Amino acid sequence: MRKALSQKDRRKMPSQERSRFTVEAILDAAVQVFERHGYAAGTTARIAERAGVSVGSLYQYFPNKDAILVALVDQHLAEVQTLAGVVFARAHAADLTLPQALRVIVAGFVDMHALNPQLHRLLSEEVVLPGEAQEKLARLKQSIVEAVGQLLARYGVAEQGSPGLTAYVLVQVADHLTHQLVLHPPVPLTPQQCVDEILLVVLGYLGQTNPFTPPPASPAPPPKECPPADAAETAAR
Amino acid sequence: MRKALSQKDRRKMPSQERSRFTVEAILDAAVQVFERHGYAAGTTARIAERAGVSVGSLYQYFPNKDAILVALVDQHLAEVQTLAGVVFARAHAADLTLPQALRVIVAGFVDMHALNPQLHRLLSEEVVLPGEAQEKLARLKQSIVEAVGQLLARYGVAEQGSPGLTAYVLVQVADHLTHQLVLHPPVPLTPQQCVDEILLVVLGYLGQTNPFTPPPASPAPPPKECPPADAAETAAR
Amino acid sequence: MRKALSQKDRRKMPSQERSRFTVEAILDAAVQVFERHGYAAGTTARIAERAGVSVGSLYQYFPNKDAILVALVDQHLAEVQTLAGVVFARAHAADLTLPQALRVIVAGFVDMHALNPQLHRLLSEEVVLPGEAQEKLARLKQSIVEAVGQLLARYGVAEQGSPGLTAYVLVQVADHLTHQLVLHPPVPLTPQQCVDEILLVVLGYLGQTNPFTPPPASPAPPPKECPPADAAETAAR
Amino acid sequence: MRKALSQKDRRKMPSQERSRFTVEAILDAAVQVFERHGYAAGTTARIAERAGVSVGSLYQYFPNKDAILVALVDQHLAEVQTLAGVVFARAHAADLTLPQALRVIVAGFVDMHALNPQLHRLLSEEVVLPGEAQEKLARLKQSIVEAVGQLLARYGVAEQGSPGLTAYVLVQVADHLTHQLVLHPPVPLTPQQCVDEILLVVLGYLGQTNPFTPPPASPAPPPKECPPADAAETAAR
DNA sequence: AATGAATGAGCCTTCATTCAT
DNA sequence: GATGAATGAAGGCTCATTCAT
């Protein structure tokens, strides 16, 4: 079904002034169109129209429809990785309690989604996406799970039973709740309230999971190195 | 965009022996095809082929593609409502503690998803579905949220701040976690373990939300340590 | 049964050079295809093929098959109305006898059919056409009947008994005979001969109907013996 | 497009009691369905349904859809020929004037159409019919034209100029007017009035064409005022 | 580079016809 | 003989993609 990009990928990377602008217009339009109609039913014609360019121009910059989605994913990845880097660095500040660290992270998630909620929902919920996009997204999510796992480990939250499960569940819950509360809040919510509510879930879960040990930092045994502040950035690779 | 089924729905619902079988084959096939390709890209030809019938036969029973999805939704609704009825009834047994009641419900959810995980994911995550399907699903979810809300109320879990938010979050979390753990478990999990993990989240959330009051109605707090983990598994029958 | 053109008719009407040509090629092809196979069995693929374009191009200019027919009808209407305007104006010249006036009109009809006999036959005889087309055609015919009725009235041809019947019969006869004599002449006929023959019927009918009064308005009876038989042939330009 | 009846035409001629009834039910249904939807869009399923039989049964008696139409044509032919035989015989009565003879014939036509107006319209106006049907109809019309020609000849109505043209025009006019006045009368009309109006056209035409010689054969002109207007109505039985 | 007309494979749907029951 | 489920070719229409201007 999917056609390989048989011909040499002669599309130019946007270097010119106008080019860059056009590409962004297309990507912005694509987000809206894909969100409104889904990926399969989002037509290139509509994207071009909404972007204010011709289909021909669209194909000047993207070899095919899939490539637009992939570009969207790449853009998303870059944003998330950048933000995640900052957020995890901040969360690793030596003097934070685990709840404080988690608040930093959850707030970061919410900010991320608030940027472009529709895109996030599309990428994480559209049932079928091109293989390439799906793989990249999976890798991203995996890296975040790992980063969270490391954070938990640092605070001595033992992964009882299934290693990796706790972090996975945490990320799933936080991610999905963020989607829902941002896109379909059952009652009006400020971002702040979103964060609070998600934290209730997250902390409750960890409390139930593991009456974790007091703060880390202190003289006591964080024998482990300190993970590089930008933990997630590496992981995101 | 969507065509109303203006004409009398002349498709005969299965009455004969063979018919009923054919209809089921088509619905089963549809679940797989929609799951693999998404709704928009799931072609009727592929559905028919996988069902082992001709397109013509498919259209003998369904006036159009949307109707197949709607039938799937209806089937899903019926199953869920039946199971939910049993589960909530059981959860309202007078002598259960809240954790016990919640375990019953979560176990019910997991059983439900275990029946046809792909269908559940499709219906709850596909970004764009026919309006009719979307509305029915929304009503279903709403009714479940309300039922959970009532259960919580019964146990004195006050909806502090935003009324309805707690139940909504609870259902979102339980539902989504079930999807994920059933479809993409990061580590192998038994249904029993799924239930346990989800309960950790749910109970933790409630614990954080509201150090809820002891048992409800009955004078004697149930001494039982743990309700049978597979409480609802029987109900699922 | 027929689908309303619910969506904004995004098809562009010809603006560019090439477009206009394509649209005309399609319409011309449609006339031939509909004539050869009838409307229902005239496929868009065949129309496109005969027009020398792809189906896609056809649908770039017409939102659906019905719209092609409607365009044909509109084109027909425009032609007929223009020609009818000229013809009736000429027929109302003050110094014409009724036979002379009728000759002008009949000659105009024949000229009209001679332009595109197949289209005329299709539009007036195909048993089932899209509602929109049928209504427009009915209105056209009605307006012609009325114009003829006025002409007759002017010459004092009383509508004995059923008002409107005479003009209706006159138009029916003239119209149908023109079709037949143009498309299936039992013997070879020049347009001139067609007009003559039809006039025989028309004048005979009126003669039988009503030994109509002498000339109308002007006091002095027109001395002219016979108007040039091909009166309207020039007008057809 | 049309499939040859490759297999031996094993369909049985209706011999049994019920068979004959079924065949008629199908043909009656077919008339209605073809009339409402046109031939191409009249489906066999609908015909069968309206006839109160299954598609299977329909195909028991007719090898394909075309055959139904052809049977209709044959039936029509038989009726018309029978009626025409009676009518023309009566019209040849030695003592009738031409107007009287023509009245007999026109009344016969009107009776014929009144029997099954829709069928007549379908057969004479549907633009495209199966070749076989079209040929048979053409032959029928030709034979009627010839019979009328002979009648005219008998009354000394010379075919000036184009031999055969007068009779052809006469039949066209009478036939078409009958359709129109029966199916779409501009004002309410009794069959009697239809006949009168058509006769006005026909007689007028002949009067214009050829101030025909007095009665034919017999020396004594028939003094009879008017033949019974419903002359053929009995014949129609 | 931009434009948008043109292309045609493929999708949803219908319907004449067959055949197992 | 009757039934109606099954079949699949064909039709209307869409849309990703190409290409002449």
For residue D44, what are its two tokens? Answer: 């066999």
pLDDT at D211: 52
Percent of chain C whose pLDDT exceeds 70: 78
- C18-36 pLDDT, tens per residue? 678 889 999 999 999 999 9
For residue D212, what are its two tokens? Answer: 């025909």
Does residue B90 surpass a pLDDT of 60? yes
- Inter-chain residue contact C208 with D201, CB threshold 8 Å: yes
- Inter-chain residue contact D208 with C201, CB threshold 8 Å: yes
- Residue A224: pLDDT band (50, 70, 90) is very low
Strand F nucleotides with an atom less than 7 Å from a protein beta carbon: 1-20
What's the CA gap between B105 and B112, in Å, rounded?
Answer: 10
Find out whether B110 and B198 touch, Cβ atoms under 8 Å: yes
Find out whether D141 and D171 touch, Cβ atoms under 8 Å: yes
Chain C residues close to B3, C-beta within 8 Å: 3
Lowest mean pLDDT among A212-221, B65-74, B104-113, C34-43: A212-221
For residue D43, what are its two tokens? Answer: 């489906």
**Mean pLDDT across chain D, nearest whole number?**
82
Q: How distant is C1' of E16 from CA of A223, in Å? A: 81
Instruction: Say whether C127 sits in a helix, a strand or coil.
Output: coil
Find out whether C227 and C103 touch, Cβ atoms under 8 Å: yes
Q: What integer is the mean pLDDT of B19-48?
A: 93
Give the nearest nucleotide to A58, CA to C1'. Answer: E2
Find out whether B94 and B225 touch, Cβ atoms under 8 Å: no
What's the CA gap between D208 and A160, in Å, rounded?
Answer: 112
Q: According to DSSP H, which parts of A92-225 are helical?
A: 98-115, 117-125, 131-154, 165-183, 191-209
What's the CA gap between C72 and A208, in Å, rounded?
Answer: 75
**∠ CA D86-D87-D88, rounded to 5°:** 95
Q: What integer is the mean pLDDT of D148-163?
A: 81
Gap from B40 CA to chain C (nearest CA, Å): 20
- Inter-chain residue contact D145 with C186, CB threshold 8 Å: yes
| Amino acid, single-letter form, for residue B6 | S
- D123-132 pLDDT, tens per residue? 988 989 999 9
User: Minimal CA–CA distance to A104: which of A158, A172, A174?
Assistant: A174
Does residue C146 surpass a pLDDT of 80? yes
Q: What integer is the mean pLDDT of D96-106?
A: 92
- Inter-chain residue contact C127 with D128, CB threshold 8 Å: no
pLDDT at D102: 92
Does residue C97 surpass a pLDDT of 80? yes
Q: What integer is the mean pLDDT of A200-223?
A: 62
Q: What integer is the mean pLDDT of C184-189?
A: 90
* Residue with smallest Cα–C1' gap to F7: B54
Does residue A228 surpass a pLDDT of 70? no
| Amino acid, single-letter form, for residue A6 | S
Is C155 exposed, middle or buried, given 0-12, 13-18 or 19+ CB atoms closer than 10 A? buried
Find out whether A229 and A223 touch, Cβ atoms under 8 Å: no
- Residue D224: pLDDT band (50, 70, 90) is very low
Find out whether C133 and C119 touch, Cβ atoms under 8 Å: no
Lowest mean pLDDT among A45-49, B170-174, D24-28, D223-227: D223-227
pLDDT at D203: 92
The B 29-58 residues near strand E by Cβ under 7 Å are 42-45, 55-56
- B74-85 pLDDT, tens per residue? 999 998 999 999
Up-side HSE of residue D215: CA atoms within 13 Å toward CB? 16
Q: What is the pTM of this model?
A: 0.83
Q: Which of B181, B182, B205 to mutate to test the interface with A (most CBs of A within 10 A)?
A: B205
Q: Tell me phi and psi for residue A173, to 5 degrees.
A: -65, -50
Q: Which residue do the tokens 């992981």 mark?
A: A235
- Inter-chain residue contact D201 with C204, CB threshold 8 Å: yes
Q: How distant is C1' of F6 from CA of B152, in Å? A: 53
What's the CA gap between D40 and C40, in Å, rounded?
Answer: 6
Q: How far is CA A24 from the centre of its chain?
A: 19
For residue B157, what are its two tokens? Answer: 């879990």
Find out whether C98 and C207 touch, Cβ atoms under 8 Å: no
What's the CA gap between C115 and D102, in Å, rounded?
Answer: 35
User: Minimal CA–CA distance to B236: which of B106, B67, B100?
Assistant: B106
Does residue B131 surpass a pLDDT of 80? yes
**∠ CA B220-B223-B227, rounded to 5°:** 120
| Amino acid, single-letter form, for residue C209 | T
pLDDT at C205: 92
Lowest mean pLDDT among A39-48, B195-204, D223-232: D223-232
Q: Please list, residue by residue across A16-44, b when 16 or more beta carbons sit within 10 angstroms of its beta carbon and e when fewer do.
A: eeeeeebbebbbbbbbbbbbebbbbbbeb
User: Minimal CA–CA distance to B233: which of B151, B115, B97, B144?
Assistant: B115
Does residue A117 surpass a pLDDT of 70? yes
Find out whether D191 and D109 touch, Cβ atoms under 8 Å: no
Q: What integer is the mean pLDDT of D93-116?
A: 89
- A26-60 pLDDT, tens per residue? 999 999 999 999 999 999 999 999 999 999 999 99
Query: Which of B183-187, C124-128, D39-43 is the most confident on average?
Result: D39-43
Instruction: Say whether C230 sits in a helix, a strand or coil.
Output: coil
